[in-house]
Amino acid sequence: MTAFRALLRRELRLALRGGGDMLTLVLFFVIVGAIVPFAVGPDQELLARIAPGIVWIAAFLAMLLGLDRLFRPDHEDGTMILLRQAELPLSAIVAAKLIVHWLVTALPLIVASPLLAVLLAMEGDALWRTICSLLLGTPALAAFGALGAAVTVSIRRGALISPILLAPLSIPVLIFGTGAVSVGQSGAAMLFLAALSLMAVALAPFAAALAISSAED
Amino acid sequence: MTQRHLFPPLTLCAEALQCGRGGMALTAPLSLTVESGQCLLLRGPNGTGKTTLLLTLAGIVPPLEGKLAIKGRDEDARVLHYCGHRNAIKPRLTVAENLDFWAEVNGPSGTSVDEALGEVGLGHLAELDAGYLSAGQGRRLALARLLVSQRPLWLLDEPTAALDVEGHALVTRLLDRHLSLGGMAIAATHDAITLPDSDRVRTLFLGVGR
């Protein structure tokens, strides 16, 4: 347990001292959402209708940006090889990294989402549902992202390939994510989103650990 | 140094072990045994499989053929330290934080972080951002990792690379102490490592007759 805590602490420190990275993600998230009204025109009704989709697309893209930091630096400086001699299994190491990845990429986006909601002329009620759906759905995006990052960790330009691998896996999250924001079937979509996240978070560490250990050969 | 043995007696046995990367064999089938208190030096030109052999012994690269066993080990315990080309040092963390992390992840069973840093000559840099360390200082930090967690088997890949004369003496001193505590070591090296007690050291030449 000490080893797990030490890993969490180190990952958090590295992410927070890299300060700029987190701000970049949030800015990217807000900018993607902010340019849409310019592209589709200032039609308030239309904007409010497509706003859930825009928020989710912005979140998906911003989370892709942060993926390359997840395993690649550790793979390249030799940390990954050494971690395999650590007192805890590789899957636990991946799990710790996944938790911190969510905290430093998804959580800032969720905190910044009210700003985006204002820019997209969302109602108060829809904003609340957006925050809930992001809270429930982003763990699944982070877990699938970890999987993609692990599979491509030994490929030099892996950052370009993992989005292609991730897109099909992320489609259900986007469908239920936007579904959870729109009025009507919100409750059921939230449940599906939660189920997706639970399943992805439970399975991804094992799959990613397998991918990483075979990448070393 | 006392002659008290810290580690249980272990024997590393490899039988007709053939190592390679990506399906291509790099070494002829090797048979070797290393016992507690012994050091095996791997010598040979570049590209003859020294690193691959170490990675195979560490269990990171599966052997192409042959058997590998460490007799006398406790199945649950981690028995080895691998110290590769890359130092695995994180910039943005201080030198002490880097070492502290490894002590906790590998189990703080050895000396304290402060003592280990003093031992490798980085005591005065503990609070420095590790990104500013020179290549040789980075190597010293990597060696300090071997001290904060006690493990009987050291697999060292070019331990003296980038080190100065005093650094070579440091590697020799650390190895000698490790062996007298009943540990064992396998080191790939281009520099001659001369231990005070030459009975403990054997040398394996790889890539002979190629």
Q: What is the pLDDT of residues A157-203, one digit of tens each?
A: 777 888 888 999 999 999 999 989 877 778 899 999 999 999 999 99
Q: pLDDT at residue A93 above 90?
A: yes
Q: Please list the residues that pair with B34 across neighbouring strands.
A: B12
Query: By CA distance, what is A13's nearest residue in B?
Result: B93
What's residue B39's pLDDT? 92
Q: Specify the pLDDT at position B118.
A: 94
State the CB neighbour count (10 A cutoff) for residue B95: 26
Residue range B1-76+185-210 forms a domain whose CATH class is: alpha beta
Q: How many CA atoms lie within 13 A of B10 on its CB side?
A: 26
Instruction: Report the mean per-residue pLDDT for chain A.
Output: 90
Round to whole Å and give the CA distance between A19 and A23: 7
Query: What does the pLDDT read at residue B1?
Result: 41
B188-202 pLDDT, tens digit each? 988 878 888 878 888
A185 compared with A212, residue with greater pLDDT: A212
d(CA B127, CA B95): 6
Range in A16-20, A63-67, B114-118 the model is least confident about: A16-20
Q: Where are the alpha helices (DSSP H) in A18-105?
A: 20-40, 44-66, 68-76, 79-83, 90-101
Q: Which chain B residues have a beta carbon less than 8 Å from that of A14?
A: 90, 92-93
**CA atoms in the 13 A half-sphere facing the CB of B69:** 4
A:B CB pairs within 8 Å:
76
Angstroms from A9 CA to nearest CA on chain B: 9
Please tell me which of the candidates A17, A76, A85 has its beta carbon nearest to residue B82: A85
- Residue A21 near residue A66 (C-beta atoms within 8 A): yes
pLDDT digits (tens, 9 = 90+) for B69-102: 888 888 778 889 999 889 999 999 999 999 999 9
Helix (H) or strand (E) holding A191: helix A186-215
Q: How far apart are CA B202 and CA B210, in angstroms?
A: 22
> For position B2, what pLDDT does the model report?
45
pTM of the model: 0.91
Highest mean pLDDT among A16-30, A115-129, A135-149, B69-83: A135-149
For residues B43-58, average pLDDT:
89
Residue A57 per-residue DSSP state? H
Question: Structure tokens of B196?
Answer: 């005070």
| In the predicted structure, residue B113 carries a pLDDT above the cut 70 | yes
Q: What is the mean pLDDT of chain B?
A: 88
User: Which of A15-24, A110-119, B80-89 has the weakest average pLDDT?
Assistant: A15-24
In 3D, which of B154, B194, B201 has the Cα closest to residue B173?
B194
Q: Name the percent of chain B lying above pLDDT 70.
A: 97
Reported as type and span, the H/E element at residue B98 is helix B95-106
- Residue of A9, A79, A87 lying closest to B107 (CB–CB): A87
pLDDT at residue number A42: 81
The half-sphere exposure of A148 on its side-chain side, counting CA atoms within 13 A, is: 27
| Between A2 and A145, residue with greater pLDDT | A145
Contact A216 B61 (CB under 8 A): yes
Which residue, A181, A176, A197, A174, is CA-closest to A129? Answer: A181
Q: How far is A70 from chain B (nearest CA, A)?
A: 14
**B131 touches B91 (CB < 8 A):** yes
Chain B: closest CA distance from residue A158 (Å) = 20
Mean pLDDT calculated for residue range A118-136: 89
Q: What is d(CA A13, CA A7) in angstroms, rounded to the nearest whole number?
A: 10
User: How many Å from the N-terminal Cα to the C-terminal Cα in chain B?
Assistant: 43
Which chain A residues are closer than 8 Å to B55 by Cβ? 81, 216
Taking CB atoms and an 8 Å limit, are B105 and A78 in contact across chains?
no
| Residues of A within an 8 Å Cβ radius of B | 2-3, 5-7, 9-10, 13-14, 17-18, 76-79, 81-88, 216-217
Q: Do A82 and B82 touch (CB under 8 A)?
A: yes
The residue ranges of every structural domain in chain B are: 1-76+185-210
Query: Does the structure show a pLDDT above 80 at A131?
Result: yes
**Pairwise CA distance, residues A137 & A149, whole Å:** 19
In this prediction, residue A209 has a pLDDT band, given cuts at 50, 70 and 90, of very high
Beta-strand pair B65-71/B39-43: unpaired
All residues at 6 or more sequence positions from B75 whose CB lies less than 8 Å from its CB, including other chains: none
Query: Which stretches of chain B sit within 8 Å of chain A by CB?
Result: 21-22, 55, 58-62, 78, 80-82, 84-90, 92-93, 97, 100-102, 104-107, 145
Collect all residues of chain B within an 8 Å Cβ-Cβ radius of residue A6: 100-101, 104-105
Alpha-carbon span A198 to A206, nearest angstrom:
14
Partner residue opposite B106 with nearest CB, options A9, A13, A85: A85
- Do A3 and B105 make contact, defined as CB atoms within 8 angstroms? yes
Which residues lie below 8 Å from residue B203, measured CB to CB, with a gap of 6+?
B40, B41, B42, B43
Q: For B161, how many CA atoms within 13 A lie in the half-sphere containing its CB? A: 17
Least trusted range by pLDDT, from A35-39, B134-138, B142-146: A35-39
List, in sequence order, every residue forming a beta bridge with B187; answer none if it has no partner.
B41, B156
Cβ atoms B171, B160 nearer than 8 A:
yes
Across A85-89, A91-95, B4-8, B168-172, least confident range: B4-8
Tell if the CB–CB gap between A88 and B22 is shorter than 8 Å.
no
Cα separation, A85 vs B176, whole angstroms: 23
* Cβ count near A59 (within 10 Å): 30
Mean pLDDT of A123-141: 92
